[in-house]
């Protein structure tokens, strides 16, 4: 269905919330001639456990500078996370960690990154889990020349597979600086991601890429950007998928007047459609600096995007845009 938009921390921490049901007691019973009181409803009491250093993280983080950038939970006690740590030489390495049935396992260097990350600067920026032990993550690594390249990695049935360079980006990333900023998975092996790359003119272009049945397809420049502006500096900042092949994403770009404008773009049945400037934003964004920060889709064709804009006084304000 095609729809329209309307309107460093220095340690790896793990903390878990456990929800318990607490009965709500009533005040007295029913009297003669009155209807019996409704059964009391259960209230959810959430208790956060004490934060603790993630088990085994000290063995990785010998350089003393680590950060969790993203965590995703598919069911209670079953989560995955990613970020970076510094090794004994001071290089940044990407890590992944999994919580299984309420217990965090020791984080690991993302498999395959030793062969990719020759310049020792790699991060996981975003993780998304569709079911327990089935997740995808994205970020970047630096090649032997010190240039940033996009990477993705899959966790399948609880095992992290080798990270790969995002297919098709060699043809796009001629400027050699790129990152995956957001990943969203609708089901195991069916995900979409977004980010940016630098083209041969040293302009930062927003990109999207889709995983279908466990295979990552070629990344593409967000369709329709040329119709919005030829003077592009921009990125996809957030992606959300409600079902396989049905996703929405948002981000920002600079227009021909060097003003920052927000855009949204839809993937419908596996095909990315043309991006559009957020409708109505011109009335709000009088200060010329507006971005999409986060997108979330409840089901196909029903999403919300939130971000910020600057008013006439160049004060930052928040906005929302929804599609239904």
Per-10-residue mean pLDDT for the chain, 324 residues long? 40 59 37 42 75 94 97 97 97 97 97 97 98 98 96 98 97 96 98 97 96 98 92 93 97 94 97 97 97 94 95 97 84
Please report the pLDDT score of residue 46 as a whole number: 78
- Measured between alpha carbons, how far apart are the two ends of the chain, in Å? 10
Q: How many residues does the chain have?
A: 324
Please report the pLDDT score of residue 231 as a whole number: 78
Residue 298 located in a structural domain: no
Residue 99 located in a structural domain: yes
- CB neighbour class for 56 (10 Å; exposed up to 12, middle 13-18, buried from 19): middle
Residue 241 located in a structural domain: yes
Residue 317 located in a structural domain: no
Q: Is there a contact between 265 and 272 (Cβ–Cβ < 8 Å)?
A: yes
Closest of 17, 47, 209, 201 to residue 126, by C-alpha: 209
Residue 120 located in a structural domain: yes
Distance between CA atoms of residues 51 and 43, nearest Å: 25
Question: CA-CA distances (angstroms) from residue 156 to 132, 241, 267, 308?
Answer: 9, 19, 24, 36
Please report the pLDDT score of residue 15 as a whole number: 67
Residue 30 located in a structural domain: no
Please report the pLDDT score of residue 42 as a whole number: 59
Residue 235 located in a structural domain: yes
Task: Map residue 76 onto helix, strand or coil.
Answer: coil
Distance between CA atoms of residues 62 and 45, nearest Å: 38
Residue 305 located in a structural domain: no
State which residues form the domain around 226.
Answer: 44-246+264-275
If one counts the domains in the chain, the total is 1
Sign of CA dihedral 313, 206, 320, 227: positive
Please report the pLDDT score of residue 78 as a whole number: 98
């Amino acid at each position: 269905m095609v729809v329209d938009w309307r309107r460093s921390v220095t340690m790896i921490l793990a903390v878990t919330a456990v929800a318990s049901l607490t009965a709500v007691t009533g005040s007295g019973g029913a009297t003669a001639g009155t209807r019996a009181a409704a059964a009391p409803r259960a209230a959810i009491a959430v208790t956060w456990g004490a934060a603790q250093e993630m088990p085994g993280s000290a063995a990785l983080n010998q350089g003393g500078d680590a950060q969790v950038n993203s965590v995703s939970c598919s069911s209670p006690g079953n989560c995955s996370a990613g970020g970076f740590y510094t090794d004994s030489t001071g290089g940044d390495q990407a890590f992944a960690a999994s919580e299984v049935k309420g217990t965090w396992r020791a984080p690991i260097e993302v498999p395959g990154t030793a062969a990719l990350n020759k310049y020792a600067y790699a991060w996981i920026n975003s993780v998304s889990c569709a079911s327990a032990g089935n997740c995808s993550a994205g970020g970047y690594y630096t090649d032997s020349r010190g240039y940033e390249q996009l990477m993705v990695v899959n966790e399948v049935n609880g095992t992290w597979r080798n990270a790969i360079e995002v297919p098709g980006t060699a043809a796009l990333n001629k400027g050699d600086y790129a990152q995956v900023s957001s990943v969203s998975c609708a089901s195991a092996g069916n995900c979409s991601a977004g980010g940016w790359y630098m083209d041969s003119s040293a302009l930062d272009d927003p990109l999207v890429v889709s995983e279908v049945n466990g295979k990552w397809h070629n990344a593409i420049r967000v369709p329709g950007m040329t119709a919005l502006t030829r003077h592009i500096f921009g990125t996809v900042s957030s992606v959300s998928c409600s079902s396989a092949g049905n996703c929405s994403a948002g981000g920002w770009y600079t227009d021909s007047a060097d003003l920052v404008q927000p855009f949204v773009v839809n993937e419908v049945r596996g095909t990315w459609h043309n991006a559009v400037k957020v409708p109505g934003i011109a009335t709000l964004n009088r200060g010329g600096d507006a971005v999409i920060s986060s997108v979330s889709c409840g089901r196909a064709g029903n999403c919300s995007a939130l971000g910020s804009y600057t008013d006439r006084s160049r004060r930052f304000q928040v906005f929302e845009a929804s599609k239904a």
